[in-house]
Amino acid sequence: MNDVVLTADRTLMTEYNGLTPLGNVACLPDRLVPNFILKLLLPKLQKERATYALRRMEGKLLDEGFNVTILRPQEIKKIKKIKPKIVGVSTVDPLTKKPHPWTLTNIFGGGESVIQREFFDLLTLLNKLRRRQKFTILIGGPGASEFERSEKYFDLFDTAVIGPGEGSIELFQMALNEEPLPKRFYAKSTGLEDLSIIKAPSRNGHVQITQGCPRGCQFCGPALLKWRSFPINRILKEIEINLRNGIKQISLVTEDLFLYGSKDVEVNQKAILNLMASISELKEKYDVSNINISNVSFASVVKGKKVCEKMTDIMGFSDECLVDTIVGLETGSERLIKKYMEGKAKPFSPDSWSELVKEGINIMNDNYWYPICSLITGLPGENEDDIIKTLDLVDDLMQNNLFYYIFYFAPVEGSELEKCDFFFIDDLSERRWELFYRCWMKSIRSIKDNLRMFIHKSILEYMISKILNEIEKDLKNYRQDPFGMSNAYSQVNLKGLNLITFLGKRYLN
């Protein structure tokens, strides 16, 4: 008998065919995404791979003496043979409260997101399995904090772990001993000494190199965590665990790569280049070509321009080896930057935000970096002038090589703005809708232009191209009608649609 099984739903247990923006599919209303689309765009994770969060939790439990098995969602019925005492489920947004799912479900007519539905289906299956054998269901991960104020799905699990999983070992021991459990368990904060090294390969070769963010944006969750850089030996050991087990890419998880080794918002050139040189040695040793970097900031890119250039040389980035990364653009309004995210511009002045963004993107493009720019509309107190300034900035960047993630404002649990109201589609003014239109059209063109670099299956490339064409047509049809697309899509349910019907009716005419 194993003590613990760890798992997550299929929106997490996938590598999205290597194309990060395909994760948008999981943020759409579930009724708009047929199962065959999920299978094509969110393929099953390969055996012996798991999310980095699950690998970290697995490592901690193993170090504490627990017997642990990680199961992919398609393997979940193996619980009958494994007979665990505890099943831990990692989740990111079980109630559709995070900005991206909140935005896309609202724009496309409302309802449960794919993420929410897949989470519910997994819990439902687990509860069917435990009718015949007793085990405790624990919910964890960044999405578990959504149950701090909600009791939805409370009958489907025993405890929600709010806080870092590594700080919940006491709860796992209580469950193992069959002691009474609280419905919400607040995990203690952790130091570096509490964090275990992964023992097996992580999805996409993810390895965390920093935690938290020193910039202190009021709407952001990572700003709540203590800022720290992980030791280089720890990082290299985890990377090599991935590479030795067949992972062919290195993905660095951080809120800002350029702040690695720094104590604040200054760029520590020596620490970054030392890390990159060491990673490059592993890259050459294991013949790895794909390097991913989760996040950077415009201020750090501009401040660390020479570091960016040297890093590109060290890692061999080129037209054939682009690196994509998320960077917070958020708004073109210096007024909103000063009000909610003044630290985002440091060590520069927030008054120069638009110029900082343009300079940062030019530096990135010159060095074969492909920024995925996040934008927020509907921040508390945002006015028409703020939106116009954001539109102007988006227009100025139209010729750059980039992609946009654009969100409605959604208050993040624990952030300084957590008590503010969600932005609803009823407040989607014409100018806000025009901002969505321009960002989405630019993003669609960017994906089309670069699709062959990321997708190597012809049927998949064909399907994605056709879907993008349909979205492009709808955007043009509803450009003058902020609510028309939402109203139209609210009447659509494609859940039961099969592949032959889909191809025949929409693409072969």
pLDDT at site 505: 53
**Residue 505, exposed/middle/buried by CB under 10 A (0-12, 13-18, 19+)?**
exposed
pLDDT at site 276: 97
Average pLDDT on 357-383 reads: 96
Instruction: Please determine, for residue 61, whether its predicted confidence score (pLDDT) is greater than 90.
Output: yes
pLDDT at site 457: 63
pLDDT at site 502: 56
> Is the bond into 371 cis (omega within 30 degrees of 0)?
no
To the nearest whole percent, how much of the chain has pLDDT over 90? 79
Instruction: Please determine, for residue 4, whether its predicted confidence score (pLDDT) is greater than 80.
Output: yes
**Residues in CB range of 103: below 8 A, 6 or more apart:** 27, 406, 407, 408, 410
Average pLDDT on 429-446 reads: 94
pLDDT at site 289: 80
User: Domain 204-423 carries which CATH code?
Assistant: 3.80.30.20
pLDDT at site 301: 98
Q: What is the pLDDT of residues 168-203, one digit of tens each?
A: 999 999 999 999 999 999 998 888 888 999 999 999
Q: Return the CATH architecture of domain 4-192.
A: 3-Layer(aba) Sandwich (3.40)
Phi, psi (rounded to 5 degrees) for 371: -75, 135
The token duo for 150 is 């909600």
What CA–CA distance (Å, rounded) separates 191 from 184? 22
Give the chain's mean pLDDT.
92
pLDDT band at 131 (very low <50, low <70, confident <90, very high): very high
Q: How far is CA 296 from CA 202, 299, 360, in A?
A: 22, 9, 10
What CA–CA distance (Å, rounded) separates 160 from 265? 34
Same CATH fold assignment for domains 4-192 and 204-423: no
Q: How far is CA 84 from CA 120, 135, 407, in A?
A: 21, 6, 40
pLDDT band at 391 (very low <50, low <70, confident <90, very high): very high
pLDDT at site 321: 79
pLDDT at site 158: 98
pLDDT at site 163: 92
What CA–CA distance (Å, rounded) separates 395 from 442? 10
Average pLDDT on 32-47 reads: 88
Q: How many residues does the chain have?
A: 509
Average pLDDT on 359-363 reads: 98
Instruction: Please determine, for residue 508, whether its predicted confidence score (pLDDT) is greater than 50.
Output: no
pLDDT at site 194: 87
Instruction: Please determine, for residue 15, whether its predicted confidence score (pLDDT) is greater than 80.
Output: yes
Average pLDDT on 107-123 reads: 96
Domain boundaries along the sequence of the chain: 4-192, 204-423
